[in-house]
Each structure stands twice: as structure tokens, then as C-alpha cells.
Amino acid sequence: MNIILLGPPGAGKGTQAARLVEARGMVQLSTGDMLREAQASGTEMGKIVAEVMAKGQLVTDEIVIGLIREKLAQGGSGFIFDGFPRTLAQADALAALMEETGQSLHAAIELQVNDEILVDRIVGRAEQARAAGQPVRADDNAESLKTRLMAYYKQTSPLIGYYHAKGLLRGVDGLADIDTVEAQIAAILD
């Protein structure tokens, strides 16, 4: 079973993906994590994406589709797509890749939240990291967050209609506590 987690930055996609990995042995494919790894490894691609990410803009479709293609080529199933697709072109590319590898998508699960909570969660995440002496994500600041939210509404939210049209869209209340969201997702998967 392969699923997509959809929702704005701070909606809880990463948190729920981690729970699914733990509880069901699914495989999390987070393009954000892959891009941060590329950045940390100091490759040419890493340098290019670092600047784009820090501003809160989207990295090119070509780069992220390439990252996902590599992962899918390694085989396996039970994927949780976290932070991908983020544009309609990426969604079409994913559909093609899934077909090529003989796989299908079970659901696109939208974590429904509101903007106020997102700002609180992301500012909270940065403060927690700071207090724990951990690195704060370069894009977890008010300015980038504005750009990230705008990118979500302009470029990613059309995917809600796209997956609705494909009969794959499922909504969960992302404002509920973590365990409740997890249970709602479990109900969709079982």
C-alpha cells in the first residue's frame, strides 16, 4: 500500500509518517529530508537547493522527481510520500513512475489545519530546537514561512482537487492531537 500525505508546512506530515513507519514498517519518502541530505553532503545539487529552500521556495520539479525516481527504482513498496508531490507536474510524474514500477496509490491523505496553528507549530519547532541546542532549520522563520505557505496555496493545494478527481482523496482533522490523527489515518488504511 502506498500513500501520499498532503498538507501545508507544519500540518504534521512528518510526525504521522514516523508513526506509520514505526507501526506498520512503511517506508517514508520525504523530499524535504532528501534535499536537506543533499545540502549537508555539499554536492553541487545540494548547494543549488540550499538557497531555494532557505527562502521557502520550491525546488525544481526536475530535481525532486529525480530523487523520487531513484528511490522507486530501488524497489519495494509501502511508501509514504511526505512533501511530494507538491505540484501538478510532480503528481503526473508520480503517477507515471508508479505505473512503470507496477505500483498503485491507495490514498492521498489531506491533513486539514488552519494557518494560525501552522505559525505556532513552526515557531515552536524552531524554539524547541534552539533550547535543545539543535540546529534550527534555515527555513523555519517568519519570512520563509510566509513564502512556504504561499507556495502551498498556489502550487500544492490544487492537488487536493486532482486527487479528489482520481477518487483517492481522504481528509483527516490535523488539529486533533497526534494520537487521534494517527487513529484517523489508521482507519483509512485498514
- Provide the annotated active-site residues: 13, 86, 125, 137, 148
The span of 16-24, 31-39, 112-120, 165-173 binding ligand ADP (CB under 6 A) equals: 31-39
CB of 96 to ligand ADP, least distance (A): 15
Contact with ligand ADP (CB under 6 A) among 17, 29, 59, 109 = 59
The region of 30-38, 112-120, 127-135, 165-173 touching ligand ADP under the rule CB under 6 A is 30-38
Burial group, residue 122, by CB count within 10 angstroms (0-12, 13-18, 19+): buried
| CA proximity to 86, closest of 107, 108, 104, 106 | 108
Residue at grid coordinates 496555496: 153
Q: Which of residues 80-109 bind ligand ADP (CB under 6 A)?
A: 83-84, 86, 90
31 contributes a contact to ligand ADP by CB under 6 A: yes
Task: Say which residues have a Cβ less than 8 Å from residue 184's Cβ, sequence separation at least 6.
Answer: 172, 173, 176
Residue in the structure block whose three cell numbers are 548547494: 47
CB of 34 to ligand ADP, least distance (A): 8
Q: Angle 115-131/142-151 helices, nearest 10 degrees?
A: 140
Give kind and range of the element (H or E) at residue 17.
helix 13-24
**Binder to ligand ADP among 4, 16, 19, 32 (CB under 6 A)?**
32
Polymer length in residues for the chain: 190
Does 52 participate in binding ligand ADP (rule CB under 6 A)?
yes
Answer for which of 20, 58, 169, 172 binds ligand ADP (CB under 6 A) is: 58
d(CA 105, CA 87): 17
What is the nearest approach in angstroms of ligand ADP to the Cβ of residue 136?
13
Q: Which positions lie near ligand ADP, rule CB under 6 A? A: 9-10, 31-32, 35, 52-53, 56-59, 64, 83-84, 86, 90, 139, 148
